[in-house]
Structure 1
Amino acid sequence: MRADENMDYHLARLLILISHFGGPGSKGIDGITKLAKLDFLLRYPSFTDRLLPSRNASWPLGCEPNDNEREAVESRSIRYKYGPWDNRYYPLLGRLVGYGLAESFRGRSGVVVRLTEPGAQLARQLGQSEEWQVVDGRSEMLSSRFNLQGNRLRKMIYEALPEVIETPS
């Protein structure tokens, strides 16, 4: 990961996302593929928007993608092994674990990650802040409508959004 990237932003976003799937005492998020695909849906709401009807879902009030998100160059994803920035997951998860905000262990699909109590508390505080409310609302919707196995998420995304896999990596 480049030093000039905003690591705090990525850590906060992942902390909030994981909190809706893997709090203390839960099974956690099983597999980097699942985490990456959920994060893809969180980071690129214009793509998620297209998947919502198939899941009988809609955006929570105030969490809909805005015009900037719909038209952003970043909405044109580039395919990687796990997601649009997959080489960052392990260092970011390592930091969350190192800070005592998350724990990881071996699961059926590889690495399982879930938050510790301090991580869950920080995620709640962030999610209640004005700056992070939309991310929190979107993460909550993803947990209720897209809590699928990583490979099933991947298949759904690639079938419904063929341009994601047609973009050269």
Structure 2
Amino acid sequence: MSTALEARRARRIAAERERYRPSAEGAARLLLLIDTFSRQKSATANLEGRTKLAKLDFFLRYPERLTVALQSKGLSPEAIAVVTEEEVPIDERMVRYRYGPWDPSYYSLLGSLIGRGLVEVVKVNSRGLGYRSTANGASFVERLLEDESWDEYQARATLLRRHFDISGENLKKLVYSLFPDISGSSWGRSI
């Protein structure tokens, strides 16, 4: 194999690995989302499954899409005033996957959170798994929220828990019905 061909292959492999690398911000965002769904009155509250996690994360990362979803539920503009329209950095874009918006780094992000004892995996039913923040995870979120740059994420996560605590399958159907540009796009395309 030629040196130039080997170099191109190495760059391609490195770029692909980078897509799966967990970022500190991505891990904090997912922990915040899981913690928001874990802190309910029930001692067994959790966020059920990766599909639900991905769709909720989609709305967390794309506030303009969350606004459309909230409007579809008939909420007044005052009820959605906490959603802002900031632009998502290009390195944080999700991709179109089999079940809609997806981030290739979810596996490594969840593994990182679980491995550091911030999230635990819980059995939801005979076939499903959920995620719940541990005491250490909840404590980390409390410290995270001392930084006001996370206020908008927390406000959106709270709106998601209040209005979209539905199954991952129903969230997928909602995304597809509200956003045909996503359902009609090809797999692997950036959203």
Q: Same fold (TM over 0.5)?
A: yes
Which residue, 163, 172, 176 being the options, matches 1:154?
A: 172
Distance of 2:20 and 2:121 partners within structure 1:
27
Does 1:45 pair with 2:66? no
Q: Percent identity?
A: 34
Does 1:118 pair with 2:136? yes
Distance of 1:77 and 1:102 partners within structure 2:
22
The TM-score normalised by the length of structure 2 is: 0.75
Provide structure 1 residue ranges, at least 5 long, that are not aligned to the other structure. none
Distance of 1:149 and 1:5 partners within structure 2:
27
Change (3 A) 1:19 1:7: same
Change (3 A) 1:129 1:101: same
Shift of 1:44: 1.1
2:118 aligns to what?
101
Does structure 1 retain, via aligned residues, the 8 Å contact 2:95–2:103?
A: no
Distance of 1:73 and 1:93 partners within structure 2:
21
Residue aligned with 1:100, SS: coil
Aligned residues: 165
Does structure 1 retain, via aligned residues, the 8 Å contact 2:100–2:172?
A: no
Residue aligned with 1:104, SS: strand
1:92 aligns to what?
109
RMSD, aligned CA? 2.6
Which residue, 75, 85, 103 being the options, matches 1:65?
A: 85
Does 1:131 pair with 2:154? no
Higher relative contact order (CA 8 A, sep 6+): 1
Provide structure 2 residue ranges, at least 5 long, that are not aligned to the other structure. 1-16
